[in-house]
Amino acid sequence: MIVLTGGAGFIGSCFLAKLNSRGIEDIIIVDNLDESKKWRNLLGKKFYDYIPKDKFLEQLENSRLPVPEHIIHLGACSSTLVLDNDYLMRNNYEYSRRLGAWAFGHKVPFIYASSAATYGDGSCGYDDSDRNTLRLKPLNPYGSSKHLFDTWLLKSGNVSSAVGLKFFNVFGPNEYHKAEMMSVICRRFDEVKGGAPLSLFKSYSPQYQDGQQKRDFIYVKDAVEVIYYFFTHPQVSGIYNLGTGMARSWNDLAQALFSALGMKPSVKYIEMPEELRDKYQYFTQADISKLRSCGCRHQFMTLEESVKDYVSYLDSKTYI
């Protein structure tokens, strides 16, 4: 039995499809379907049971569920716009700590989602060593909630029994339910295909021209392959960056989208909301030397290859 939290979400449902493709169906999905279209991510997938996240921990801790062979904890509030610190602490930190403590106590391999948001303004670099992780200063409550769990894991000594993955800018199929947290490509696809320009934020830093802010964009199919590597190598532990190791500009992303559509590029630079300006990451690039040193040799798709593949899904809003 495998427990997959966030299994109806973006990355979780794609990883569920990966497990199914390997003939693995003995899976308990833990999630909160709410009123979004997230439920569609489960259509056609095979799993043993679905348990709401607010009931799962009690059942697990009170031995009303079989001890799983593996826990993949991808469930969390991933919105960088949520400002309710108490909610983020309960949902992202306390829930993860209880689940992690149970897994360590029962010697169950534990993989969980951290985030590149923990790196804040990047002044500490993007080195995923334990020493650097402990000194990071996130810019928003979401990043802080993820950083707190990373810190607890390291200080408690349990990092040797877990794998933490600092996801960078993941995009791709199955993100259709994420509302304002969808990737720019997904959110603006229909408008752009209909002839409208792609809207990108202006730069408020003299170091970057409009559209030249850079992010480490990683396609969800690549992210899933890395998770699967750790799933099949339970002897490996630690906290790792999960990005391509290559920062690309938002203008590059726009060019890739218009090229995939066979259209002439058209970009409009818009004002960034004031509440985001002092929390905006102008540059992110995963240092993946630690990922490579642990034996993961997956070759990431280029931005252009990823966007072209994604457009084939966006045309009909199909799912993985």
Which amino acids are annotated catalytic? Answer: 142, 178
Q: Judge contact between 211 and 249, C-beta under 8 A.
A: yes
d(CA 18, CA 12): 10
CA angle 263, 269, 271 (to 5 degrees): 150
CA distances, 9 to each of 34, 152, 184, 241, 311 (Å): 11, 25, 18, 20, 20
d(CA 62, CA 311): 46
d(CA 304, CA 170): 14
CA angle 25, 30, 166 (to 5 degrees): 95
Count of Cβ atoms closer than 10 Å to residue 43 Cβ: 8
Q: Judge contact between 150 and 164, C-beta under 8 A.
A: yes
d(CA 187, CA 183): 6
